[in-house]
Amino acid sequence: MDIFERLVERLKEKRLRVASAESCTAGLFAADLAAVPGASSVLEYGFVVYSAAAKQRILGVPQKVIGRYGVVSEQTARAMAQGAKRVSGADLSVGITGFAGPDADEGYTAGTVCFGFCCRERSVSETVNFGDIGRNRVRQKCAEYAAERFLELLEEKDAF
């Protein structure tokens, strides 16, 4: 059983629905989740918000967050997740923003990705550097990482 099958199974057990707000992955997390039979009972929304304007307009990410921290930052990823949760009504959400490569930008190296996760009223964020392993490989690693982290968060005592 792969990571996405395990996540769908766990979300079904807990009767939870998930939303994603994706930038550098361009919806790959939601697509990989949707590839699992039965995902329709757990996947609420998948937002692809590639531009800063889309992050602001669709998810309500404050311009001051993007202006102060940049589009690739834990603060922006967390605000994306919060916006996805609020707009979709899902139980939990993820925000993914980063540089898949091949070029670096804003002082980050290729493969640097920021994640934000919302569970109930709690939000966590983190930065992971997958390395300069190729654009599509970084995107796939991001989707898998988000699924792994959701499984970990679902096991935490007070997460839900």
pLDDT digits (tens, 9 = 90+) for 10-19: 999 999 999 9
Relative to beta strand 122-129, strand 92-98 is unpaired
Q: Write down the pLDDT at residue 16.
A: 95
Amino acid at site 145? Y
Local structure of 43: helix, strand or coil: strand
Local structure of 115: helix, strand or coil: strand
Local structure of 40: helix, strand or coil: helix
Distance CA 32, CA 41 (A): 15
The tokens describing 89, both together, are 């009504």
Distance CA 18, CA 16 (A): 7
Predicted confidence (pLDDT) per residue in 95-128, tens digit: 999 998 877 666 778 899 999 999 877 899 999 9
Q: Write down the pLDDT at residue 100.
A: 86
Q: How far is CA 149 from the centre of its chain?
A: 10
Mean local confidence (pLDDT), 6-26: 96
Judge whether residue 25 has pLDDT over 70.
Answer: yes
Categorize the per-residue pLDDT at 1 as very low, low, confident or very high, splitting at 50, 70 and 90.
Answer: confident
Bridge partners of 116? Answer: 95, 125
Full-model pTM = 0.94
Q: Write down the pLDDT at residue 158.
A: 62
Distance CA 106, CA 44 (A): 32
Higher pLDDT, 127 or 157: 127
Relative to beta strand 18-22, strand 43-48 is parallel
17 phi and psi angles, rounded to 5 deg: -120, 145
Q: Which domains does the chain have, with CATH numbers?
A: 3-155 (3.90.950.20)
147 phi and psi angles, rounded to 5 deg: -65, -45
